[in-house]
Amino acid sequence: MKRKEDWYKHMAFYQIWVRSFYDGNSDGIGDLYGVYEKLEYVKSLGVDGIWFSPLYPSPNADYGYDISDYRDIHPDYGDLDQFKKVLEKAHSLGLKVIMDLVVNHTSDEHPWFKESRKGKDNPYSDYYIWRDRPNNWDSLFEGKAWEYDEERGQYYLHLFAKKQPDLNMDNPKVREEVKGIMRFWLDMGVDGFREDVINFISKKEGLPDGIPFLPVIGSMMNYKDGPHIHEYMREFREVCNEYDCFQIGEGPMTTVDSALEYVAGEDRTLDMMISFDHMMADCLYTEYIHRPFDLKKYKKALTRWQEKLAGRAWNVLYLENHDHPRIISRYGSPFFHRESGTCLAASYIFLQGTPFIYQGQEIGMTNIRLGSIENYIDVSTKNNFNRYHIKDDLKKRLARIHVSSRDSARTPVQWNSGKYAGFSKVKPWFFVNKNYKRINVAAQEKEPDSILNFYRKCLELRKNSKTLIYGDYREYYASSREIYMYERKLNDISYLIVCSFMPIPVKVRFPRNYEGREGELVLGNYREGRHKATIPEGGLSFKPYECRVYRVRKSLNP
């Protein structure tokens, strides 16, 4: 076994959704030429690695998550040679590179599916899940989960879009293909995988009906953490064990207990899981069922995962990715853009786990509001619009899209205040957020207190502190609806992270065991440099969305 323990625990990662990152060859589409140019910028954030959302050839029914060739690069983004150049430069800068492994489904334009649909007696016939009659499952993205195929005269299963047929993982040949794909990229030098909806790959035998009247969720127990999942995961793990790499699983709807079955212990099959609980503090399952942000829900989810994983497993820490609307628009406040953006950063980066930052999050990009559903491009956005609340008036329906669409995470990165936000020299493939003149990288580089520079400070602080990486987690004032306060403690060093989520000043009491102690204010988002500070007795007034990180030496009173 080549896998070395734990290098990823010290790291932080940056996620690139390449189509909107940076256009290096001036055709309006982000690409690997652009990534190559911006690697120094990525490095300057203080991260240690990159997760690439799919770069492979794809008809883009789900923007790369519908793959038609697992061993090549989409021509829009470059080619394998250009990828190798990026990989080499990333490595020379000390950045790891992990790829997205999407194997629950392929594109319907993948050669395997083209063969499979030809009939029951060809070598690819059992690569997918075919039935004469569909069951009652819903797809997550487009109507029912079954589509009739004229050519084959049967229905195929698609848990996601119609153009994303599910692979039949029970077929050993399919699992061999997956392992071959892993080896292909690992041999090239990539450092690991983020495994897409990996807890869905093993379906219950016989594909029984789900609970009717419970859309989507009613079908899920028939394929989430299915009967053979751990067996298959072990097979994939063995491949990874031949290399010094690591594996992250995306686990939609996963509970902390079921996540532990993947990520805990020596014989774990994943090193970390992408959980969703803390992303539901303003919605129910999906952002489409929107609710006002509830700080207690956010804290409860984070604390539950921190406590249950403590000493047993490691976790992905994140607030944004290509699947969620922008976090300031959700949990923060565009009116306190800098303040809430920095406060949100401190609320998660100092937890136990490996922090991930999504492109544009580091400058506090916010949601877009497009005037018509035709302007949106994401398949799930369109599906939600056409499937739910269709009797509401158009304005209401569009308002739901504004708060929930994944497209808000997919607008071009705002590099400067020039034309097209400096993303491209020509008209970009998708809308640029109108606020790019105010919110962009160049402006924030110049401003010492910007969100961008705050992320840098957070990552630097974390990287240089064993306590912030390995320390025990404890939450204070769990029932507060105004502040999130947590401690990281290791031996005789403690950090206390205090974040106000209020748009008005609030009085904050420090825990008794901290009051009067001498320490240091190591980080804050209100222009106070690092300095010695005694933790005030009787509390302190926090400004809107103020956050403070204190470091205290010597053990605390219990």
Active site residues: 196, 250
Closest by CA position to 242, among listed 185, 299, 303, 300: 185
Q: Does 103 bind ligand GLC (CB under 6 A)?
A: no
Q: CB-side exposure of 514: number of CA atoms within 13 Å?
A: 29
CB of 197 to ligand GLC, least distance (A): 5
Q: Which of 196, 225, 282, 339 binds ligand GLC (CB under 6 A)?
A: 196
**Residue with smaller CB distance to Ca ion, 11 or 29:** 29
In the complex, the smallest distance separating the C-beta of residue 189 from Ca ion, rounded to whole angstroms, is 24
Nearer to ligand GLC, 286 or 440 (CB): 286
Site string for ligand GLC, 249-278 (x = CB under 6 A): -x----------------------------
Find how far residue 154's CA is from the centre of its chain.
Answer: 35
Q: Closer CB to ligand GLC, residue 62 or residue 362?
A: 62
CA 240, 246, 248 angle in degrees (round to 5)? 115
- C-beta of 161: minimal distance to ligand GLC in Å? 8
Least gap, CB of 24 to Ca ion (angstroms) = 6
Going by C-beta distance under 8 Å and a sequence separation of 6 or more, which residues neighbour residue 518? Answer: 532, 533, 534, 535, 552
Q: Say how many residues touch ligand GLC, by CB under 6 A.
A: 9
Q: Pick the closer one to ligand GLC by CB: 191 or 250.
A: 250
Instruction: State the Cα–Cα distance between residues 213 and 479, nearest whole angstrom.
Output: 35
The distance of closest approach from Cβ of residue 102 to Ca ion in the complex, given in angstroms and rounded to an integer, is 22
146-149 sheet: strands from edge to edge: 130-131, 154-157, 146-149
Query: Judged by CB, which is closer to Ca ion: 29, or 379?
Result: 29
Distance separating alpha carbons of residues 340 and 346, to the nearest angstrom: 10
Looking at residue 144, what DSSP letter applies?
Answer: B
Does position 319 interact with ligand GLC (CB under 6 A)? The reply is no
Residue 410 interaction partner, one of ligand GLC, Ca ion, none, beta carbon < 5-8 Å per kind: none
Q: According to the binding rule CB under 6 A, does residue 542 interact with ligand GLC?
A: no
**Size of the chain, expressed as the number of residues it contains:** 558
- Per partner kind, with CB cut-offs from 5 to 8 A, the member of Ca ion, ligand GLC, none near residue 29 is Ca ion
Q: Which is nearer to ligand GLC, 368 or 497 (CB)?
A: 368
Shorter beta-carbon distance to ligand GLC: residue 65 or 124: 65
Report how many helices (DSSP H) and strands (DSSP E) the chain contains, helices first: 15, 21
Check residue 425 for interaction with Ca ion (CB under 5 A).
no
Q: Draw the binding track, 142-171, toward Ca ion (x: CB under 5 A; -: no contact).
A: ------------------------------
Residue 103 contact, options ligand GLC, Ca ion, none, Cβ 5-8 Å cut-off depending on partner type: none
C-alpha triplet 410, 43, 471: angle, nearest 5°:
95
- Contact characters 129-148, ligand GLC, x per CB under 6 A: --------------------
CB 158 within 8 A of CB 139: yes
Q: Cα(123)–Cα(112) distance, rounded to whole angstroms?
A: 9
Q: Are strands 483-490 and 283-284 parallel, antiparallel or unpaired?
A: unpaired
| Beta strand pairing call for 483-490 and 472-476 | antiparallel
- Examine residue 65 and tell whether it contacts ligand GLC (CB under 6 A): yes
Q: Which of residues 214-253 bind ligand GLC (CB under 6 A)?
A: 250
The interface with ligand GLC within residues 357-396 (CB under 6 A) comprises none
| Stretch 19-78 residues interacting with Ca ion (CB under 5 A) | 23, 25, 27, 29, 31
Going by DSSP bridges, is the β-strand pair 547-553/493-500 parallel, antiparallel, or unpaired?
Answer: antiparallel
Q: Which of residues 153-192 bind ligand GLC (CB under 6 A)?
A: 160
**Contact partner at residue 348 from ligand GLC, Ca ion, none, CB < 5 to 8 Å by partner kind:** none
Q: Which residue is nearest to Ca ion (CB)?
A: 31
Q: Smaller CB distance to Ca ion: residue 31 or 147?
A: 31
**Is residue 102 part of the contact set for ligand GLC (CB under 6 A)?**
yes
CA–CA distance from 138 to each of 212, 222, 283, 317 (Å)?
Answer: 10, 11, 20, 30
Rounded to the nearest whole angstrom, what is the least distance from the CB of residue 29 to Ca ion in the complex? Answer: 4
Query: Which ranges in 157-268 belong to alpha helices (H)?
Result: 172-188, 217-220, 229-241, 256-263
Task: Classify each residue of 231-257 as buried b or exposed e, where b means 16 or more C-beta atoms within 10 Å of its C-beta.
Answer: ebbebbbebbeebebbbbbbbbbbbbe
The DSSP letter of residue 283 is E
Cα(65)–Cα(53) distance, integer angstroms: 8
Q: Decide if residue 323 touches ligand GLC (CB under 6 A).
A: yes
Q: Tell me the closest approach of the beta carbon of residue 23 to Ca ion, in angstroms.
A: 4
Q: What angle do CA 260, 266, 270 make, to 5 degrees?
A: 50
Query: Which tokens hold the place of 428?
Result: 């970009």
Side-chain half-sphere of 558: how many Cα atoms within 13 Å? Answer: 0
Q: How far is the CB of 396 from ligand GLC (least distance, A)?
A: 25
Q: What CA–CA distance (Å, rounded) separates 434 from 69?
A: 35
Nearer to Ca ion, 76 or 195 (CB): 76
Give the nearest distance from C-beta 460 to ligand GLC in angstroms.
29
Q: Which of 23, 62, 108, 138 contacts ligand GLC by CB under 6 A? A: 62
Residue 41 near residue 87, CB atoms below 8 Å: no
Residue 25 interacting entry, from ligand GLC, Ca ion, none, C-beta within 5 to 8 Å by type: Ca ion
Residue 302 phi, psi dihedral angles, 5° rounding: -60, -45
Query: For Ca ion, which is the closer residue by CB, 33 or 385?
Result: 33
Judged by CB under 6 A, the chain residues 393 through 422 that form the site for ligand GLC are none
CB of 138 to ligand GLC, least distance (A): 15
> Which does residue 517 touch among ligand GLC, Ca ion, none (CB within 5 to 8 A, set by kind)?
none
CA triple 199-216-298, angle to 5 deg: 70
- Give residues in contact with Ca ion (CB under 5 A): 23, 25, 27, 29, 31
- Give residues in contact with ligand GLC (CB under 6 A): 62, 65, 102, 160, 196-197, 250, 322-323
